[in-house]
A and B are shown apart, each in its own frame.
Chain A
Amino acid sequence: MKDFIIPWDDDRDMGTKAVQGAPVTLTVDGFEVTVPEGTSVMRAASEIGMQIPKLCASDNLEAFGSCRLCVVEIEGRRGTPASCTTPVAEGMVVRTQSSKVKKIRKGVMELYISDHPLDCLTCAANGDCELQDMAGAVGLRDVRYEAPEDGSLINHFEQRQGDQPNPEWIAKDDSNPYFTYDPSKCIVCNRCVRACEEVQGTFALTIEGRGFDSRVSAGGPANDFLTSDCVSCGACVQACPTATLQEKSVIELGTPERSVVTTCAYCGVGCSFKAELNGDELVRMTPYKHGEANRGHSCVKGRFAWGYANHQDRIMNPMIRDSIDEPWKEVSWDEAMTFTANRMRGLQEKYGRKSIGVITSSRCTNEETYLVQKLARGVFMNNNTDTCARVCHSPTGYGLGQTFGTSAGTQNFDSVEHVDVAVIIGANPTDAHPVFASRLKKRVRAGAKLIVVDPRKTDVVRSAHIEAAHHLPLRPGTNVAVVTALAHVIVTEKIYDEDFIRERCDWDEFQDYAAFVSDPRHSPEMTEVLTGVPAEELRKAARLYAQGGNGAIYYGLGVTEHSQGSTTVMGIANLAMMTGNIGREGVGVNPLRGQNNVQGSCDMGSFPHELPGYRHVKGDEVRALFESKWNVKIDPEPGLRIPNMLDAAVSGSFKGLYCQGEDILQSDPDTHHVQAGLAAMECVIVHDLFLNETANYAHVFLPGSTFLEKDGTFTNAERRINRVREVMKPKNGYADWEVTQLLAQAMGADWNYSHPSEIMDEIAETTPGFANVNYEMLDARGSVQWPCNDAAPDGSPIMHIDGFVRGKGRFINTEYVATDERTGPRFPLLLTTGRILSQYNVGAQTRRTENSIWHSEDVLEIHPHDAEVRGIKEGDWIKLASRAGETALRATLTDKVVPGVVYTTFHHPDTQANVITTDFSDWATNCPEYKVTAVQVGLSNGPTEWQREYNEQAARSRRIQTAAE
């Protein structure tokens, strides 16, 4: 049927899922169609543009067959089967519009409508309601059932019937901040329940009761949506064909009339969304079904937490001040740029070329990051550029670079569908990478096994219909010992993949490594005392990973943010190589990156020793390439990393910083030290949406634009380059790349980009992995995974297929070395830090949305045993102290943490958990050791002196001079 082209909207609902199988040919209303075996009749019809009426079916859910609206006639079969649950067969002859099925459909619709309030004109779903559409499609013209006055025919939608309250009527539940549940409009199609189970994997919804009494329910009778297990992902809202589950934004603003496909700016999953608007007013974000990272799903942050873009705290005008004791003064862009350029140049004249630097953002686009590092290298004329990836995944870069030859994660997210054994190390995907977690849980429900290595009993260890085969609850800081012990078991029990090692790695080198790792000091029995992981459990986990089929390792910041972060990454790479779990679908080493563009900011040369594409600045050839492009001389020596910049500031040699879209004062460890460093600088430029914590020490504030207000690209954790599109014009006047360009121009650079696509073209010209990337191709394909060049014109979903990037994979000895951060009598507990679902990183965005309803403050998780000996009860104010500093917050008692370990998040500046964290860091990359701090916990009666002083200073520093002053 190739000659039969209908200009349909290509994200229409095909009714049931696509399947794979041998071709089967049938006819639908006389038209021939060939589809894979196992396809439903409904989908086959849809393939040729015939939309069979339906209500309970949706192509992201398993067919359910409850509404009977989709009936068809099939030659040679009795009755009228439901097309959504009937698979195609060779030679089948289907009729979708016989008088018989038309009559049935009308009857079905008539019944539905008789129990539905007909307030369509004022309903929030008006124009976006499948019930309405279906009434139209079946030609429903009248409803013969009518409730008799005496109330003998009861309905669900009238609050009162006659003069009696209607017992079937249930009030609207608007407890969730983002959507409402109005039971009076429910047709009990079950789509929400199935979406919550199948797509999200939370199992928060059920259908209670039977027949006429059946109702959708979130949790038990005492629960509403907010108090249930619901994580507010919105999958049910999207699935609901009626206004029963409805976004509050649509209720308030009306149904959107246009949409633009773009990419979520929160986490490293990089979900694609349709931003739906009226004019330039955003009404809702709907996950885009052709987004290859998320396949039509999203989490609460991306779908709902975009209100910060219009928050009253957002700063729209540039501001300057001479010193940080003064209030801010609003100025024109011109004045701000002149002021800034003069200051920065002045500092260089006075203190030298290397006295200033930049911090690029993992929140900003590739193009913006590229420009910021170019500003350092080509305008400041030094390599003082770093990025917040320093504090999260720099060890991944080093560790995988050493073993495989590239820092790239090896798989795409789709690969999880082929995993047999998933090993999650130091990552909490249900909170930090929710959409990936949903896809993983789906695979686990289908039979894949799960091994979790984490000090905490995270939600993936055990939740609805998921249970990890093995949870190794290690003591924080002992990752290397555990990973090496896993290798010990695999090597000594000879369950490694010898063929793979001989072919893909260096066999002699492996022999050396095997000798190292076989030493009894690495055995699980010997390491148990250090790690706290039961030896037998560890042995079983090692056997399962080595022998359970496709084994994939997913890891997060619990691996990298340690003094041996890089070593653990190498240990993980060793495990994957020795078991042959590299180079095909369903396996691999997958770093789960935190922020949306951590991958991209690393790719773009943000690090002080690397030009874009991970090429060391000492390389003459690479430097020559950029020198001829930029017309400058590039410094061949590495510049300063963030911690080095702060150290240099304290000692007086580093004086000026341009910080784009990062809040180092809140996000970086050892707040006191960061504070001291910033306070010692003479020109701190903060380029952000809000007056963040770092801005308390800034002299220039340049207002930023949101991801909705600019063009560009983000690269997600699977190396996928996704387009970010300008959905509305920048409210602050300029997109962030324009602001950087203005600054460069003010400092005398001849930069003339007129659109981010030109920046991408420059990236493609200079960076081999991006050689074939351009906006035209991204618009046509949707997205592409780098490397994308002549060798891989369609990009590279999976790396190291025929051989490692570096040639032979390299085994590296991973000796456990205890961190210097040790518990002792003064600080007997170990603190580890992390995140939760509803808040994002420093929380600057999410705290300015309704998401705070789920997490309004950071709390300390402590085991009941540790709490009891300290006299701490649930909700008590406690003081948390380390050798770096102290802060106060509330405690919650939970056995998610083991005795001896406490846990908190760092989303709120009031808590400043980083006052506690120390300046210890990864040996190779200086990635800070966030995950282990020795602390003491004791009762307190409220915020500490330091917290009060800090808040006062912040309030003073945030004053903005009004025009009248």
Chain B
Amino acid sequence: MPHEKLTRMANQIATFFATQPGTDQAERVAMHLNDFWGPEMRAELKAQAAEDDSDLSPLVKEAIPLI
């Protein structure tokens, strides 16, 4: 999948959870990714992040180790 599409989708998820109260937003982003993205897509996101995570929102970065 194109890099930017994956980034955009992950960031969209983070944008939602960022507006929720509490301190566990990163966990909830990770949980959402684990529940709805297949393992291949998650792996792809991780690989991309390892290479260059400059376009990822901070919350996604925080969530990456949890997926």
A binds B: yes
Q: Are B39 and A563 in contact (CB under 8 A)?
A: no
In the bound assembly, the distance between CA atoms of A648 and B20 in angstroms comes to: 32
* A638: interface (CB < 8 Å): yes
Q: Are A567 and B16 in contact (CB under 8 A)?
A: yes
- Categorize the interface residue count of chain A: 20 to 34
CB within 8 Å for A640 and B38 given contacts A647-B1, A923-B13, A924-B16: yes
The interface residues of chain B lying within 8 Å CB-to-CB of A608 are: 38
CB within 8 Å for A512 and B21 given contacts A608-B38, A648-B1, A653-B40: yes
Q: Are A813 and B39 in contact (CB under 8 A)?
A: no
Q: Are B36 and A925 in contact (CB under 8 A)?
A: yes
Q: Are A924 and B38 in contact (CB under 8 A)?
A: no
Q: Are B1 and A651 in contact (CB under 8 A)?
A: yes
In the bound assembly, the distance between CA atoms of A815 and B2 in angstroms comes to: 28
In the bound assembly, the distance between CA atoms of A638 and B39 in angstroms comes to: 7
The interface residues of chain B lying within 8 Å CB-to-CB of A921 are: 9
* A329: interface (CB < 8 Å): no
B39 to A: closest C-beta gap in Å: 5
* A354: interface (CB < 8 Å): yes
Q: Which B residues, 3 to 54, have Cβ-Cβ distances below 8 Å to chain A? A: 5, 8-9, 12-13, 15-16, 19-21, 32, 34-41
The interface residues of chain B lying within 8 Å CB-to-CB of A512 are: 21
In the bound assembly, the distance between CA atoms of A924 and B2 in angstroms comes to: 19
In the bound assembly, the distance between CA atoms of A919 and B12 in angstroms comes to: 14
In the bound assembly, the distance between CA atoms of A618 and B36 in angstroms comes to: 11
B28 to A: closest C-beta gap in Å: 11
CB-CB nearest in chain A for B37: A638
Most buried by B among A647, A653, A814: A647
In the bound assembly, the distance between CA atoms of A653 and B40 in angstroms comes to: 10
CB-CB nearest in chain A for B2: A647
A931 to B: closest C-beta gap in Å: 16
The interface residues of chain B lying within 8 Å CB-to-CB of A647 are: 1-2, 5
The interface residues of chain B lying within 8 Å CB-to-CB of A919 are: 5
The interface residues of chain A lying within 8 Å CB-to-CB of B16 are: 566-567, 815, 817, 923-924
Q: Are A638 and B36 in contact (CB under 8 A)?
A: yes
Which of A567, A813, A814, A820 meets B21, CB within 8 Å? A813
CB-CB nearest in chain A for B16: A923
Q: Are A637 and B15 in contact (CB under 8 A)?
A: no
The interface residues of chain B lying within 8 Å CB-to-CB of A813 are: 19-21
In the bound assembly, the distance between CA atoms of A637 and B39 in angstroms comes to: 7
CB-CB nearest in chain B for A637: B39
In the bound assembly, the distance between CA atoms of A607 and B15 in angstroms comes to: 24
A905-932 interface bits toward B, Cβ cutoff 8 Å, 1 = contact, 0 = none:
0000000000000010101111000000
In the bound assembly, the distance between CA atoms of A578 and B35 in angstroms comes to: 29
CB within 8 Å for A644 and B38 given contacts A923-B12, A924-B32: yes
Which of B2, B8, B13, B35 meets A638, CB within 8 Å? B35
The interface residues of chain A lying within 8 Å CB-to-CB of B36 are: 609, 638, 924-925
A616 to B: closest C-beta gap in Å: 6
The interface residues of chain A lying within 8 Å CB-to-CB of B39 are: 637
In the bound assembly, the distance between CA atoms of A812 and B22 in angstroms comes to: 12
Q: Which A residues, 753 to 794, have Cβ-Cβ distances below 8 Å to chain B? A: none
Q: Which A residues, 614 to 654, have Cβ-Cβ distances below 8 Å to chain B? A: 616, 618, 637-640, 644, 647-648, 651, 653
**By the criterion of a CB under 8 Å from any partner CB, how many residues of chain B are at the interface?**
21
Q: Which A residues, 789 to 824, have Cβ-Cβ distances below 8 Å to chain B? A: 812-815, 817, 820
CB-CB nearest in chain A for B21: A512
Q: Are B21 and A637 in contact (CB under 8 A)?
A: no
Which of A609, A639, A812 meets B20, CB within 8 Å? A812
B21 to A: closest C-beta gap in Å: 5
In the bound assembly, the distance between CA atoms of A653 and B41 in angstroms comes to: 12
A820 to B: closest C-beta gap in Å: 7
B10 to A: closest C-beta gap in Å: 10
Which of B12, B35, B40 meets A609, CB within 8 Å? B35
The interface residues of chain B lying within 8 Å CB-to-CB of A924 are: 13, 16, 32, 36
The interface residues of chain A lying within 8 Å CB-to-CB of B40 are: 354, 640, 648, 653
In the bound assembly, the distance between CA atoms of A93 and B6 in angstroms comes to: 79
In the bound assembly, the distance between CA atoms of A638 and B35 in angstroms comes to: 7
CB-CB nearest in chain A for B15: A817
Which of A516, A563, A653, A814 meets B12, CB within 8 Å? A563
In the bound assembly, the distance between CA atoms of A924 and B20 in angstroms comes to: 14
In the bound assembly, the distance between CA atoms of A814 and B38 in angstroms comes to: 26
Q: Are A926 and B5 in contact (CB under 8 A)?
A: no
Most buried by A among B16, B20, B34, B41: B16
In the bound assembly, the distance between CA atoms of A638 and B1 in angstroms comes to: 17
B4 to A: closest C-beta gap in Å: 11
A923-944 interface bits toward B, Cβ cutoff 8 Å, 1 = contact, 0 = none:
1111000000000000000000
The interface residues of chain B lying within 8 Å CB-to-CB of A651 are: 1
In the bound assembly, the distance between CA atoms of A563 and B8 in angstroms comes to: 11
Which of B13, B15, B35, B37 meets A618, CB within 8 Å? B35
Q: Are B19 and A815 in contact (CB under 8 A)?
A: yes
In the bound assembly, the distance between CA atoms of A516 and B19 in angstroms comes to: 9
In the bound assembly, the distance between CA atoms of A488 and B8 in angstroms comes to: 29
The interface residues of chain A lying within 8 Å CB-to-CB of B37 are: 638
In the bound assembly, the distance between CA atoms of A653 and B21 in angstroms comes to: 39
A285 to B: closest C-beta gap in Å: 40
In the bound assembly, the distance between CA atoms of A815 and B25 in angstroms comes to: 15
In the bound assembly, the distance between CA atoms of A813 and B34 in angstroms comes to: 22
Q: Are B21 and A926 in contact (CB under 8 A)?
A: no
A920 to B: closest C-beta gap in Å: 8
In the bound assembly, the distance between CA atoms of A926 and B6 in angstroms comes to: 11
B48 to A: closest C-beta gap in Å: 13
B45 to A: closest C-beta gap in Å: 12
Most buried by A among B5, B15, B40: B40
In the bound assembly, the distance between CA atoms of A512 and B37 in angstroms comes to: 30
In the bound assembly, the distance between CA atoms of A354 and B40 in angstroms comes to: 10
A48 to B: closest C-beta gap in Å: 60
Q: Are A926 and B9 in contact (CB under 8 A)?
A: yes
A45 to B: closest C-beta gap in Å: 61
In the bound assembly, the distance between CA atoms of A849 and B22 in angstroms comes to: 56
A678-712 interface bits toward B, Cβ cutoff 8 Å, 1 = contact, 0 = none:
00000000000000000000000000000000000
The interface residues of chain A lying within 8 Å CB-to-CB of B5 are: 647, 919
CB-CB nearest in chain B for A570: B16
In the bound assembly, the distance between CA atoms of A639 and B20 in angstroms comes to: 27
In the bound assembly, the distance between CA atoms of A567 and B15 in angstroms comes to: 11
The interface residues of chain A lying within 8 Å CB-to-CB of B9 are: 921, 923, 926
In the bound assembly, the distance between CA atoms of A354 and B16 in angstroms comes to: 30
Q: Are A637 and B20 in contact (CB under 8 A)?
A: no
The interface residues of chain A lying within 8 Å CB-to-CB of B34 are: 618
In the bound assembly, the distance between CA atoms of A383 and B36 in angstroms comes to: 12
B34 to A: closest C-beta gap in Å: 8
Q: Which A residues, 35 to 81, have Cβ-Cβ distances below 8 Å to chain B? A: none
CB-CB nearest in chain B for A645: B38
A762 to B: closest C-beta gap in Å: 26
A647-672 interface bits toward B, Cβ cutoff 8 Å, 1 = contact, 0 = none:
11001010000000000000000000
CB within 8 Å for A637 and B13 given contacts A647-B1, A648-B1, A820-B8: no
The interface residues of chain B lying within 8 Å CB-to-CB of A814 are: 19
CB-CB nearest in chain B for A617: B35
A-B contact pairs, 16 of them (CB 8 A): A566-B16, A567-B16, A618-B34, A637-B38, A638-B35, A638-B37, A639-B38, A644-B38, A647-B5, A812-B20, A813-B21, A923-B15, A924-B13, A924-B16, A924-B32, A924-B36
Q: Please provide the 10 A-B residue pairs with the shortest distance between their CB atoms, ordered closest to farther.
A: A923-B12, A815-B19, A647-B1, A637-B39, A512-B21, A813-B19, A638-B38, A923-B16, A923-B13, A640-B38
Given contacts A563-B12, A817-B16, 14 further A-B contacts (CB under 8 A): A354-B40, A383-B38, A566-B16, A616-B35, A637-B38, A638-B36, A644-B38, A644-B41, A647-B2, A648-B40, A651-B1, A653-B40, A817-B15, A923-B13
Interface residues of A (CB under 8 A from B): 354, 383, 512, 516, 563, 566-567, 608-609, 616, 618, 637-640, 644, 647-648, 651, 653, 812-815, 817, 820, 919, 921, 923-926
Interface residues of B (CB under 8 A from A): 1-2, 5, 8-9, 12-13, 15-16, 19-21, 32, 34-41
